[in-house]
Amino acid sequence: MPINPDAVGAVGTPSRRSWTSKDALLYAVGVGAGTDELQFTTENTRDFPQRVLPTFAVIIGGGGVPMDKIGSFNPALMVHGEQSIELFDEIPPDGEIESVGQITGIYDKGSAAVVEFESTSTNVATGKPLLKTSMSMFCRGEGGWGGDRGPSDKIVFPDRKPDHQVTYKTREDQALTYRLSGDRNPLHSDPSFAAMGGFEKPILHGLCTWGFTGRALLHTLCGGDPSRFRSMKSRFSRPVIPGDELTVSIWVDGNTALFRTTNQNGEVVIDQGVFKFD
């Protein structure tokens, strides 16, 4: 069946997810961390106890969502719309969480449907909330039933130069590393499948671009300390091709920052970013 708008409000059954030190290390390498970030890319370096990139939340969180309730869509025509995370504590190098998810919105954009989810995760070892993730999927070809178009709030960026800019270069094989953290969608690896979605070549995972952006925010505004990273939210506006150069522009106001990420051509690939930190 097609997308089911009546699924809004559906709550999934609790779902558990565990991870190891290796999972966290692989994720860090997948989002571009390297030899100058040994606290995230190694577990046995002198004076650098392993810590976890806060955006690893998108890998372990998001469980318990009742995906079977939303109906059907063509995965080759689906792209990530928005993503947010909120951290209540620092993610440990290994552990287990229990997550409960909910479908929070399904909107009709005419040519597409937007489906929103939210999931809250509790650290099984402590019994305390660890993180919350929210996301939306933009499913092309699934709109047009005459439903609510959804909210249209938009951030207005300051009319001045950014307070900080950080540029990272992605590798041409970046997606092949990142996919090992769990997202094996062939849109990011198989040229023929990417062509079905209208792309000339496989595109980078949106959440990989998001991880690069999160690293820039972490190191620029939190001094590389994950315990100071509180929340991050943004919208995906354009696909990134592996090998692209990413520049994160940041405007700071107290403990809140607005951000966006552009490619080497100045095209915005992540927009409407809001980051909060201690």
Q: pLDDT, tens digit, for every residue of 101-137?
A: 999 999 999 999 999 999 999 999 999 999 999 999 9
Q: What is the pLDDT of residue 249?
A: 98
Distances (CA, A) of 240 to 96, 132, 206, 243: 32, 26, 8, 9
The conformation of residue 266, written as its DSSP 8-state character, comes to S
Asked if the model's pLDDT at residue 258 lies above 90, the reply is yes
Average per-residue pLDDT for the chain: 95
Instruction: Specify the pTM.
Output: 0.94
What is the rounded CA–CA span in Å between residue 145 and residue 54?
38
Q: Is 9 a catalytic residue?
A: no
Annotated catalytic residue, options 3, 30, 95, 188 = 188
What is the rounded distance in angstroms from the CA atom of residue 275 to the CA atom of residue 222? Answer: 11
* Selected catalytic residue, list 32, 206, 211, 214: 206
Of 91, 203, 250, 270, the catalytic one is 203
Quick one: pLDDT at residue 203?
Answer: 95
Residue 240 DSSP SS3: coil
105 annotated active-site: no
Give 211's pLDDT tier (boundaries 50, 70, 90): very high
Give catalytic status of residue 183 as yes or no: yes
Query: Model confidence at 26, in pLDDT bands (50, 70, 90)?
Result: very high
pLDDT of 79 reads: 78
Domain extents in the chain:
5-277
What pLDDT band is residue 16 in, cutting at 50, 70 and 90? very high
Q: Give 5-277's CATH code, choosing from 3.40.50.1370, 3.40.190.10, 3.10.129.10, 3.40.50.1220.
A: 3.10.129.10
The answer to whether 173 is a known catalytic residue is no
pLDDT of residue 98: 98
